[in-house]
């Protein structure tokens, strides 16, 4: 029997993979994908609760998140492209312009 | 119409004009001088002289008119006039100062001396300063001095007196540094002002103490109207000042020490000789330096309240008298000798004040004004003839070339030496007699020795300058000439005054009327009259004769030695080498002050206060230290800003986990 | 109509007329230097004329005159509240008197960014007049800060030498004080029943502890401005590096903000605390007098010397204020004005010689009395005024301060008298080294003397110096009631400490004056 619990554990695992990916991977595109993974895991939580509670609120929020994610992907990729033009690298640790 | 004119030329108006004339002269000549110097033009000397001498003479005439007006008062009425306030100067509920003048016996005597001798010296200056490019400036300063000096002696309150007091100091500063291109002269002017300021600080504290003491008693306002600086008010309420009489008198005396060049503040006067010689005659001999004596005489009612202060005044005076006289013996600069002689004579005046002989002091002040002005002007005449050489060792035998200067100078010297019947004899002898008579035998002895020294150094001067062989090159000797009539006539007038000036105060003991003394009784009261004096004149006559012989002895000795036996003093100097050096170097007092006060003060200010406290402690450590502290923390915190986004995220995640931990469990 | 409006709104007019002129200047094209200068001069002269006009309508009262109250931000009880008493009116008069002189003096000196310079000067004037006129703490604080910004730029942009550092030091020092004052103002706001009204604060009974901290906060802000001894190191830098006009305003008026603050706020509002701190502040004032004089004595830069002399002069002002005797306070206020005139004049004169020789080192001069006689005569005159020669302005102030302080704080006054001597030493020594002696440097032989414009700059100051010195009565009369009231209010702390019998008799003599303001009752019930 697959319960809500399983969905949630799966979502947490996916989220943690995403976080881990964001923190340890150096390639910006991979980081970006990790962020998408985190968003997806959140969506999964929304959906499972929606099913569990029998309410459509969660599904509406999923659409919301997907929309934002799409916009964010556009902006984020734009930034990466712009950065790549200035500094031909995709590794984040080589971009240290914020160093104090 | 006539009424109106009469109203305008009331005695009060005349009184104010006395003060206003010199101010007008100073302003007009000052403006002319400034405008001319701005545009690089020359001013007309004749117009300058007309303005510069005309106003003082007018002032003298008006003083004389006032004097005649006041002695014309019916018998039994004090010859006193108070002009009343021209305006009120400072207004506060508890502090009122009226700008008013007071004419009484004392201020009239002073006013006559100041305007009279002042006018003569103005006339003399026309010749002496005739070739100077600062002619107009000179006369404007001199007139300004006269203005402030008149304010000083005619003021009816302490604040106005102080205005004059500082004002004459300013003029002294300007005139000592008149030839400011010479750095030494400029420095001498500053020294005079600063040393005077030290005394003035004491003076200020003294008058504050008077005010505070009087204000602390709930005196009836309707009577004093909070005019606590007014002489009348102070005199009226002097009993309230009794508890503080000693500090008040001593503080005021500090001011007098500064202005009248007494120990320990006398050091500025010898340096003040850097000014033009007529200035030395007017300011640093006849008038300004006597301001301290005038002030104490004016406040005699306060000083008699404090025997301690009186004793201090007497001792300081006596010590200064002998101290300066010893220095004068060895000096080689003609003006320096006269300067130390002035200090010494001022010491006698303070001695007189200190033993309660106020009128004798004022008497000596007056005769001193005559003969010391004469001596300075005579010295000026000599310096003028010697084209600016001050050193008496280069003089000699000038008698033949400048007879008027010589014989008037000798008269002046005899007067100051106290040879009867010249003016100085009567006045100085009166001081010494009062000192002796009041029981201060020690003080009398000091004064007596000092009198001998006075005769000695004055006739040393006479001998070296006018007698003996000329000590200069023959070309120079050819150039020596008697001064023009504008100068020599002044010498003659002053010579005449030096001889007869003392005759208005011949004591009863010598068959005189002692007029000055009786005239001044209105101010000093009869406190100074000793009962026994009326009974027997014998001791006074004996002392008088003794001192004449004493002075005569030294006078003849000195003139013989220095005119004919020049090798003697050298031998003596060689034998008492240390004493001679000590005196020649003026006891090294200037060096001592420099070493003990000036240098440490500069060192502390520059290297400790400015260098360490200001620059290091406050600015570097405290102020910049605060900045450094901020920068330090800044450096610590910026370490965290590596620029690697993943690190930031890592911290972020840890933060989230911690927060979740904190709130969830 | 207009006349009536002006009669009712003198202070608004005085405050905002300069800023209005400044806006017009902004509208002028950049290159029109002379019209910019003329407009600035016209504005300041007009302001001064209005000020003289107001003088004729000024009533000598215990309370404030020319009061204007308009609710501004009612939600926080913030009013646009202006009003002056004798003291602040005199200081406004001083400000408006000095400003045309400052503008005229920078006619040739300022050649770069002329438009900005004059705009900032006029803005500064608005800030200064507003600070003296504001009776609402919020408004006061705004004007107080408005003053800082133009001054910062004046030093930083048109200054000389290490101007940036000096500007920074100036603004950081002042801000440090202001921030504490802001906190104190906010605390007082709530304590006084959410009111920024000055008169209401006066009626608010602050407890001893509150007074202690509020006084400290206010006093620190003002002490930095004065400046009191250990907080003075911004002053030599700022004064020295500022352009001439900036130095004049800085010395002439901005320093008075500190002493004015003590007079208006710190002492009457917190009398007990000021009685408690009085010995310390008096000590620092006397130390400042002597320390400032001694350090001034050994300066090598003329401007720096005058800057340190300000520390000494302002020490006298503090001594007079804390003497808490009417004579002393009157002397202190007079001394504020005198210092503005004398030190302002000295800075102007130094600016004139700096314009010619581009150096302020004393060593670089010597003997120039020969080449520039008129300049030297005026300089000597101003020096004499500065060292308190009787008959000139400073003497009256110093005399009153000392006589007042001697009566109530004898020991401090006795020590302060030393400052009179030291003042003569450092000023005359400087004069001697600059003007007297032989000419050592070739450049000094070709100096040209003052021109007509420069004489016109100095003339009003000289006239004022003689005028105040000879006949100070009108000024003293204007401030008499205000200072009397100040002494009563500030003495409350002393009276509270005296034994009860004495307290009863003395308290009855305290005339409520400002305490009897209409908002008192409504305020305490809030």
Per residue in B485-533, pLDDT (tens digit) is 888 888 999 999 888 888 887 877 777 677 788 788 778 876 544 544 5
User: Both C507 and C473 in a single domain?
Assistant: no
Q: Do residues B468 and B397 touch, judged by C-beta distance below 8 A? A: yes
As a three-state string, the secondary structure of chain A is CCCHHHHHHHHHHHHHHHHHHHHHCCEHHHHHHHHHHHHHHHHHHHHHHHHHHCCCHHHHHHHHHHHHHHHHHHHHHHHHHHHHHHCCCCEHHHCCCCCC
User: Both C276 and C265 in a single domain?
Assistant: no
- Interface residue of B170, B178, B208 to substitute, partner C, most C CBs within 10 Å: B208
The verdict on C462 touching B (C-beta cutoff 8 Å) is no
Q: Which residues contact C21 (CB under 8 A, 6 or more apart)?
A: C39, C40, C42, C43, C44, C46, C122
- Is pLDDT above 60 for C445? yes
Tell me what the mean pLDDT of segment B205-220 comes to: 86
Q: Do chains A and C touch (3 or more CB pairs under 8 A)?
A: no
Which of C269, C285, C314 is the C-terminal boundary of a domain? C269
Cβ neighbourhood burial of A38 (10 Å; 0-12, 13-18, 19+):
buried
> By mean pLDDT, which of B332-341, B453-462, B479-488 is the weakest?
B479-488
Q: How many domains does one find in chain C?
A: 3
Q: Which residues contact C501 (CB under 8 A, 6 or more apart)?
A: none
User: Both C227 and C317 in a single domain?
Assistant: no
Per residue in C125-176, pLDDT (tens digit) is 999 999 999 999 999 999 999 988 999 999 999 988 888 989 988 998 888 8
All domains in chain A, ordered by first residue: 26-92 (1.10.287.3510)
The verdict on B636 touching A (C-beta cutoff 8 Å) is no
Whether residues B641 and A99 touch (CB distance < 8 A) is answered with yes
Measured between CB atoms, which of B180, B198, B215 is closest to C421?
A: B198
pLDDT computed for residue B536 by the predictor = 64
Q: Do chains C and B touch (3 or more CB pairs under 8 A)?
A: yes
Q: Which residues of B459-495 are buried (b: 16+ CB within 10 A; e: fewer)?
A: bbbbbbbbbbebbbeeeebeebebbeeebbbbbebbb
- Our measurement of the distance from residue B99's CA atom to the centroid of its chain's CA atoms, rounded to an integer in Å, reads 23
Whether residues C233 and B177 touch (CB distance < 8 A) is answered with no
- Is pLDDT above 50 for C240? yes
User: Both C85 and C174 in a single domain?
Assistant: yes
pLDDT computed for residue B619 by the predictor = 83
pLDDT computed for residue A40 by the predictor = 92
Confidence of residue B39 (pLDDT cuts 50, 70, 90): confident
- Interface residue of B633, B636, B642, B644 to substitute, partner A, most A CBs within 10 Å: B644
Identify all chain B residues contacting C418, using CB atoms and an 8 Å cutoff.
201
Chains that touch C (3 or more CB pairs under 8 A): B
- Is pLDDT above 70 for C504? no
The verdict on B645 touching A (C-beta cutoff 8 Å) is yes
The verdict on B643 touching A (C-beta cutoff 8 Å) is yes
Whether residues B644 and A23 touch (CB distance < 8 A) is answered with no
- Is pLDDT above 70 for C525? no
d(CA B157, CA C278): 33
Q: Is the peptide bond before B581 cis (omega within 30 degrees of 0)?
A: no
Q: Do residues C373 and B137 touch, judged by C-beta distance below 8 A? A: no
Identify all chain B residues contacting C367, using CB atoms and an 8 Å cutoff.
180-181
pLDDT computed for residue C518 by the predictor = 39
User: Both C465 and C506 in a single domain?
Assistant: no
- Is pLDDT above 60 for C522? no
Per residue in C382-394, pLDDT (tens digit) is 999 999 998 899 9
Of the candidates B84, B120, B80, the one whose C-alpha atom is nearest the C-alpha of residue B99 is B84
The verdict on A100 touching B (C-beta cutoff 8 Å) is yes
Per residue in B120-161, pLDDT (tens digit) is 999 999 888 888 888 999 999 999 999 999 999 999 889 999
Identify all chain A residues contacting B655, using CB atoms and an 8 Å cutoff.
none
- Our measurement of the distance from residue B477's CA atom to the centroid of its chain's CA atoms, rounded to an integer in Å, reads 36
Output the CA torsion C153→C154→C157→C162 (10° steps): -100
State the nearest Cα–Cα gap between A26 and chain B, in angstroms: 9
Q: Do chains B and A touch (3 or more CB pairs under 8 A)?
A: yes
Of all residues in chain B, what percent carry a pLDDT higher than 90?
A: 29
Q: Which residues of B18-28 are buried (b: 16+ CB within 10 A; e: fewer)?
A: bbbbbbbbbeb
- Is pLDDT above 60 for C497? no
Helix (H, G, I), strand (E, B) or coil at B473: coil
Mean pLDDT of chain B: 86
Confidence of residue A100 (pLDDT cuts 50, 70, 90): low
Chains that touch A (3 or more CB pairs under 8 A): B
The verdict on B646 touching A (C-beta cutoff 8 Å) is yes
Whether residues B645 and A24 touch (CB distance < 8 A) is answered with no
The verdict on B650 touching A (C-beta cutoff 8 Å) is yes
Helix (H, G, I), strand (E, B) or coil at C49: helix
The verdict on C396 touching B (C-beta cutoff 8 Å) is yes
Write out the residue range of the structural domain in which residue C21 sits: 1-269
Per residue in B594-609, pLDDT (tens digit) is 888 888 888 888 888 8
Residue of B nearest to C378 (CA): B34
Tell me what the mean pLDDT of segment C446-451 comes to: 86
Identify all chain B residues contacting A96, using CB atoms and an 8 Å cutoff.
642-644
Whether residues A22 and B646 touch (CB distance < 8 A) is answered with yes
- Is pLDDT above 50 for B411? yes
pLDDT computed for residue C495 by the predictor = 63
Which of C251, C269, C287 is the C-terminal boundary of a domain? C269
Tokens of residue B351, six digits: 């001695």
The verdict on B638 touching A (C-beta cutoff 8 Å) is yes
Whether residues B653 and A19 touch (CB distance < 8 A) is answered with yes
Element (H, E) at C78: strand C78-84
Identify all chain C residues contacting B88, using CB atoms and an 8 Å cutoff.
473
Of the candidates B407, B342, B340, the one whose C-alpha atom is nearest the C-alpha of residue B372 is B342
Measured between CB atoms, which of B637, B638, B653 is closest to A23?
A: B653
Break chain B into its structural domains and give their ranges: 306-580, 589-664
Q: Do residues C134 and C91 touch, judged by C-beta distance below 8 A? A: no
State the nearest Cα–Cα gap between B583 and chain C, in angstroms: 29
The verdict on C406 touching B (C-beta cutoff 8 Å) is yes
Identify all chain B residues contacting C403, using CB atoms and an 8 Å cutoff.
95, 208, 211
User: Both C1 and C17 in a single domain?
Assistant: yes
pLDDT computed for residue B539 by the predictor = 78
d(CA B68, CA C300): 57
pLDDT computed for residue B318 by the predictor = 93
Q: What is the ipTM of this complex?
A: 0.91
Size of the A and B interface in Cβ pairs below 8 Å = 32
Measured between CB atoms, which of B163, B173, B186 is closest to C391?
A: B163
Confidence of residue C345 (pLDDT cuts 50, 70, 90): very high
d(CA C301, CA C239): 11
Q: Which residues contact B516 (CB under 8 A, 6 or more apart)?
A: B109, B359, B362, B363, B366, B504, B505
User: Both C481 and C504 in a single domain?
Assistant: no
Helix (H, G, I), strand (E, B) or coil at C59: coil
Of the candidates B239, B236, B228, the one whose C-alpha atom is nearest the C-alpha of residue B94 is B228
Measured between CB atoms, which of A19, A92, A98 is closest to B641?
A: A98
Q: Do residues B459 and B419 touch, judged by C-beta distance below 8 A? A: no
Whether residues C297 and B38 touch (CB distance < 8 A) is answered with no
Of the candidates C199, C192, C182, the one whose C-alpha atom is nearest the C-alpha of residue C140 is C182
Tokens of residue A15, six digits: 């989220």
Measured between CB atoms, which of A24, A31, A99 is closest to B643?
A: A99
Tokens of residue B124, six digits: 């003399």
Confidence of residue B554 (pLDDT cuts 50, 70, 90): confident
The verdict on C412 touching B (C-beta cutoff 8 Å) is no
pLDDT computed for residue C132 by the predictor = 93
- Is pLDDT above 80 for B570? no
Mean pLDDT of chain C: 87
Residue of A nearest to B651 (CA): A23
Per residue in C278-305, pLDDT (tens digit) is 999 999 999 999 999 999 999 999 999 9
Considering B55-59, B65-69, B238-242, B460-464, the range whose residues carry the highest mean pLDDT is B55-59
Neighbours of C328 (CB within 10 A): 30
Whether residues B642 and A99 touch (CB distance < 8 A) is answered with yes
pLDDT computed for residue B76 by the predictor = 66
Which of C234, C269, C304 is the C-terminal boundary of a domain? C269
- Is pLDDT above 50 for C519? no
pLDDT computed for residue A48 by the predictor = 92
pLDDT computed for residue C502 by the predictor = 40
- Is pLDDT above 90 for B621? no
Mean pLDDT of chain A: 89
Confidence of residue B6 (pLDDT cuts 50, 70, 90): low
pLDDT computed for residue B518 by the predictor = 79
State the nearest Cα–Cα gap between A19 and chain B, in angstroms: 8
Any alpha helices (H) in B439-566, and if so which ranges? 441-466, 474-479, 485-500, 515-524, 531-535, 538-564
Confidence of residue A89 (pLDDT cuts 50, 70, 90): confident
Whether residues A96 and B643 touch (CB distance < 8 A) is answered with yes
Q: Do residues C158 and C111 touch, judged by C-beta distance below 8 A? A: no
- Is pLDDT above 70 for C247? yes
Whether residues C432 and B186 touch (CB distance < 8 A) is answered with yes
pLDDT computed for residue B2 by the predictor = 66
Tokens of residue B574, six digits: 């060689």
The verdict on B644 touching A (C-beta cutoff 8 Å) is yes
User: Both C359 and C506 in a single domain?
Assistant: no
Of all residues in chain C, what percent carry a pLDDT higher than 70?
A: 94
- Is pLDDT above 50 for C520? no
Identify all chain A residues contacting B653, using CB atoms and an 8 Å cutoff.
19, 23
User: Both C484 and C511 in a single domain?
Assistant: no
User: Both C372 and C456 in a single domain?
Assistant: yes
pLDDT computed for residue C206 by the predictor = 87
């Amino acid at each position: 029997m697959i319960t809500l619990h399983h969905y949630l554990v799966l979502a947490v695992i996916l989220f943690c993979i995403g976080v881990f990916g964001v923190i340890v991977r150096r390639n910006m595109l991979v980081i970006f994908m990790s962020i998408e993974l985190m968003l997806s895991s959140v969506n999964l939580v929304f959906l499972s609760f929606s099913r569990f509670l029998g309410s459509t609120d969660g599904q509406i929020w999923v659409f919301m998140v997907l929309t934002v994610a799409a916009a964010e992907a556009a902006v984020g990729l734009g930034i990466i492209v712009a950065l790549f033009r200035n500094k031909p690298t995709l590794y984040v640790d080589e971009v240290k312009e914020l160093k104090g | 119409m006539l009424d109106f004119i009469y109203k305008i030329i009331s005695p009060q108006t005349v009184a104010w004009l006395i003060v206003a004339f010199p101010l007008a002269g100073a302003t007009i000549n000052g403006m002319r001088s400034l405008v001319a110097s701005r545009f690089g033009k020359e001013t007309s000397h004749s117009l300058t002289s007309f303005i510069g001498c005309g106003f003082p003479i007018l002032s003298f005439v008006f003083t004389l008119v006032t004097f005649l007006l006041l002695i014309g008062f019916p018998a039994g009425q004090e010859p006193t006039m108070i002009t009343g306030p021209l305006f009120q100067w400072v207004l506060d509920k508890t502090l009122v100062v009226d700008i008013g003048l007071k004419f009484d016996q004392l201020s009239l005597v002073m006013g006559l001396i100041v305007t009279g001798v002042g006018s003569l010296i103005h006339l003399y200056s026309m010749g002496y300063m005739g070739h100077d490019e600062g002619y107009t400036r000179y006369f404007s300063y001199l007139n300004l001095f006269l203005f402030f000096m008149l304010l000083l002696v005619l003021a009816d309150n302490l604040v106005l007196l102080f205005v004059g007091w500082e004002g004459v100091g300013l003029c002294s500063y300007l005139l000592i540094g008149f030839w400011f291109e010479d750095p030494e002269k400029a420095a001498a002017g500053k020294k005079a002002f600063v040393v005077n300021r030290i005394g003035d600080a004491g003076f200020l504290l003294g008058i504050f103490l008077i005010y505070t003491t009087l204000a602390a008693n709930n005196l009836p306002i309707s009577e004093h109207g909070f005019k606590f600086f007014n002489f009348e008010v102070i005199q009226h309420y002097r009993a309230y000042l009794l508890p503080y009489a000693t500090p008040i008198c001593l503080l005021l005396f500090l001011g007098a020490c500064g202005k009248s060049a007494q120990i320990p503040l006398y050091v500025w006067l010898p340096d003040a000789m850097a000014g033009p010689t007529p200035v030395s005659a007017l300011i640093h001999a006849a008038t300004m330096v006597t301001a301290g004596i005038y002030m104490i005489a004016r406040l005699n009612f306060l000083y008699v309240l404090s025997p301690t202060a009186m004793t201090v005044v007497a001792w300081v005076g006596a010590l200064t008298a002998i101290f300066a006289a010893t220095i004068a013996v060895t000096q080689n600069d003609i003006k320096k000798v006269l300067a130390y002689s002035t200090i010494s004579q001022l010491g006698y005046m303070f001695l007189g004040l200190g033993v309660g002989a106020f009128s004798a002091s004022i008497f000596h002040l007056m005769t001193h004004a005559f003969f010391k002005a004469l001596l300075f002007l005579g010295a000026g005449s000599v310096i003028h003839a010697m084209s600016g050489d001050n050193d008496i060792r280069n003089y000699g035998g000038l008698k033949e070339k400048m007879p008027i200067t010589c014989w008037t100078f000798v008269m002046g010297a005899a007067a100051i030496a106290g040879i009867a019947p010249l003016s100085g004899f009567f006045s100085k002898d009166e001081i010494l007699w009062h000192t002796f008579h009041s029981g201060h035998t020690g003080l009398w002895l000091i004064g007596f020795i000092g009198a001998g020294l006075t005769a000695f150094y004055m006739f040393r001067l006479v001998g070296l300058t006018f007698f003996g062989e000329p000590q200069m090159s023959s070309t120079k000797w050819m150039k020596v000439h008697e001064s023009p009539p504008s100068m020599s006539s002044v010498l003659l007038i002053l010579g005449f005054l030096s001889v007869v000036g003392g005759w208005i105060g011949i004591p009863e003991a010598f068959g005189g009327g002692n007029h000055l003394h009786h005239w001044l009784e209105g101010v000093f009261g009869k406190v100074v009259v000793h009962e026994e004096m009326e009974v027997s004149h014998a001791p006074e006559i004996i002392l008088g004769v003794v001192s004449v012989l004493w002075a005569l002895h030294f006078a003849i000795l000195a003139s013989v030695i220095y005119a004919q036996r020049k090798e003697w003093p050298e031998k003596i100097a060689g034998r008492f080498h240390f004493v001679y050096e000590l005196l020649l170097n003026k006891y090294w007092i200037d060096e001592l002050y420099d070493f003990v006060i000036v240098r440490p003060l500069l060192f502390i200010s520059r290297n400790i206060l400015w260098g360490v406290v200001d620059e290091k402690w406050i600015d570097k450590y405290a102020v910049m230290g605060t900045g450094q502290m901020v920068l330090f923390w800044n450096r610590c915190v910026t370490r965290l800003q590596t620029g690697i986004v993943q690190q930031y995220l890592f911290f972020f995640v840890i933060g989230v986990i911690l927060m979740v931990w904190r709130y969830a469990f | 109509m207009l006349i009536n409006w002006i009669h009712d709104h003198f202070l608004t007019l005085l405050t905002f007329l300069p800023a209005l002129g400044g806006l017009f200047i902004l509208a002028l094209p950049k290159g029109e230097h002379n019209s910019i200068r003329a407009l600035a001069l016209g504005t300041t002269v007009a302001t001064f004329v209005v000020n003289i006009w107001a003088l004729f309508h000024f009533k000598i009262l215990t309370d404030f005159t020319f009061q204007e109250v308009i609710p501004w931000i009612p939600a926080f009880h913030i009013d646009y509240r202006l009003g002056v008493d004798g003291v602040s009116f005199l200081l406004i008069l001083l400000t408006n008197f000095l400003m045309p002189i400052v503008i005229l003096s920078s006619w040739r000196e300022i050649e770069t960014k002329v438009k900005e310079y004059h705009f900032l000067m006029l803005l500064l004037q608005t800030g200064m007049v507003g600070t003296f006129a504001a009776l609402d703490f919020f408004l006061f604080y705004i004007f107080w800060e408005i003053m800082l910004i133009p001054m910062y730029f004046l030093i930083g942009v048109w200054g000389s030498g290490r101007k940036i550092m000096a500007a920074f030091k100036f603004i950081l020092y002042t801000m440090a004080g202001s921030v504490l004052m802001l906190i104190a103002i906010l605390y007082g706001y709530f304590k006084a029943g959410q009111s920024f009204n000055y008169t209401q604060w006066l009626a608010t009974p602050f407890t001893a502890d509150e007074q202690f901290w509020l006084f400290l906060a206010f006093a620190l802000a003002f002490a930095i401005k004065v400046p009191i001894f250990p907080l003075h190191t911004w002053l030599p830098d700022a004064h020295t590096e500022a352009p001439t006009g900036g130095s004049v305003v800085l010395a002439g008026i901005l320093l008075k903000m500190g002493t004015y603050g003590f007079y208006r706020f710190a002492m009457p509002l917190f009398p007990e605390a000021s009685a408690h701190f009085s010995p310390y502040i008096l000590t620092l004032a006397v130390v400042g007098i002597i320390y400032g004089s001694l350090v001034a004595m050994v300066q090598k830069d003329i401007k720096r010397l005058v800057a340190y002399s300000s520390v000494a002069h302002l020490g006298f002002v503090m001594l007079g204020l804390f003497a808490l005797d009417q004579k002393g306070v009157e002397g202190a206020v007079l001394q504020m004005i005198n210092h503005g005139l004398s030190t302002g004049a000295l800075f102007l004169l130094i600016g004139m010689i700096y314009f010619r020789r581009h150096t302020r080192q004393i060593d670089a001069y010597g003997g120039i009395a020969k080449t520039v006689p008129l300049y030297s005569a005026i300089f000597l005159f101003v020096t004499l005024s500065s060292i308190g020669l009787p008959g000139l302005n400073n003497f009256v102030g110093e005399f009153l301060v000392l006589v007042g302080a001697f009566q109530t704080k004898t020991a401090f006054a006795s020590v302060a008298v030393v400052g009179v001597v030291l003042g003569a030493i450092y000023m005359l020594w400087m004069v001697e080294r600059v003007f007297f002696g032989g000419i050592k440097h070739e450049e000094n032989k070709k100096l040209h003397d003052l021109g007509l414009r420069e004489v016109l700059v100095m003339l009003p100051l000289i006239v004022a110096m003689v005028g105040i010195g000879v006949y100070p009565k009108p000024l003293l009369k204007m401030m008499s009631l205000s200072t009397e009231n100040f002494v009563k209010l500030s003495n409350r702390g002393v009276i509270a400490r005296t034994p009860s019998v004495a307290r009863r008799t003395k308290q009855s003599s305290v005339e409520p004056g400002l305490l009897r303001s209409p908002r008192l009752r409504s305020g305490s019930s809030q």
